[in-house]
Amino acid sequence: MNTSKDKIDIRSLSLEALQEHFIRLEEKNFRAKQVYEWLWKKSCISFNEMSNISKELRTKLEENFIINDVKIHNSQFSSDKTIKNSFILHDTHLIEGVLIPTSDRMTACVSSQVGCSLTCKFCATGYMERKRNLNADEIYDQVVLIARQARENYGLPLSNIVYMGMGEPLLNYKNVLESVEKITSEDGLNMAAKRITVSTAGIAKMIKKLGDDQVKFNLALSLHAANDEKRNTIMPINEQNSLKSLAEALKYYYAKTKNPVTFEYIVFDGFNDTIQDAIELAQFCRHLPCKVNIIEYNPIAFASFINAGEDKIEAFAEYLRQQNITTNLRRSRGKDIDAACGQLAIKEKEKVS
């Protein structure tokens, strides 16, 4: 009998690799396809639930493979109906993911890494150490669990997914793209790629790679300053990925995909809230078809930033609109449970020993 340590993580295998294992187990090819459907189409996390598989084969699966599923560790409910989850991984690491319900959509905000290595000064996750990348199935599981919450709590299906939780998705490129494939494939959850947005702090060469791979999902860039000096101050990643290099990468990405880009911009009080800042942002927007989401800042214990006043934000947004730039004001959700943008971080007391 194999111990769990010796067993193969079945969801790490492609269909072709799974079929090869089935030949070794003296099982027919089509059985591998059935098991694959159970795993990705029906989100099954137990071999015993695979009802059209013989008991003998289920025993073989138990002996040779393991399903390292993600489980909900804790859930918090906000007064605005947002639900924040800490998820426990098979190796006891914790990550967070959020269900954001609004009048017209149910959005899952998912993590791509345990912690983050980018140290953005305004983001709670940036003050955590990056432990590891998430596997594709661990991202997929977050979507499945949050979709279940949407149905159970609000009677509605999941409509959108944003990769805006913990971590930098483009530093976990392979697994993020594989998770999108599993979520959008007919052999998986069959969600439309246009309902998925991947958000990046800005890694120029990986943005170009998205173009080369002609991805179908939406891309959002966390910009927060259209001035290198200011952006360097709050986002150290900008020192190796200047605004000029990001503009070139985004133009390349657009030429390859024809997908417009969303720029996310937090207006910090006394830092990037002037009309001059808005002028610089408008100039950056000229590089390609885009829209701007102005995001409310959510204070964190580690940083002293505060949100700009309503009048400053309105004036900022109005200037952009006068330049014919589509501009949306995004109000925070789940602030009272630290579930809002930039607030995701595992507290010490939550850690699993």
CA–CA gap between residue 192 and residue 187 (Å, rounded): 13
Task: Decide: helix, strand or coil at residue 327.
Answer: strand
Collapsing DSSP to helix, strand or coil, 82 comes out as: coil
> Are 290 and 325 contacting, i.e. CB atoms less than 8 angstroms apart?
yes
The CA-atom distances, in angstroms, between 49 and each of 84, 115, 143, 223, 316 are 28, 33, 20, 46, 55
* Helices and strands counted in the chain (H then E): 10, 14
Q: Rounded to whole angstroms, what are the CA distances from 127 to 159, 183, 198, 318, 353?
A: 31, 30, 21, 33, 20
**CA–CA distances in Å: residue 305 to residues 107, 187, 299:** 27, 45, 7
Contact 350, 99 (CB under 8 A): no
341 is catalytic: yes
Pair of tokens at residue 289? 């078809």
Q: Is the CB of residue 199 less than 8 Å from the CB of residue 160? A: no
Q: Are 254 and 247 in contact (CB under 8 A)?
A: no
Sequential DSSP letters for 212-263: HTT--SEEEEE-S-SSHHHHHHH-GGGGTS-HHHHHHHHHHHHHHH---EEE
Number of alpha carbons in the 13 Å side-chain half-sphere of residue 91: 10
Active-site choice (120, 123, 285, 341): 341
Place of tokens 């800005």: 202
Choice among 96, 168, 178, 296 that is catalytic: 96
Catalytic residues: 96, 341
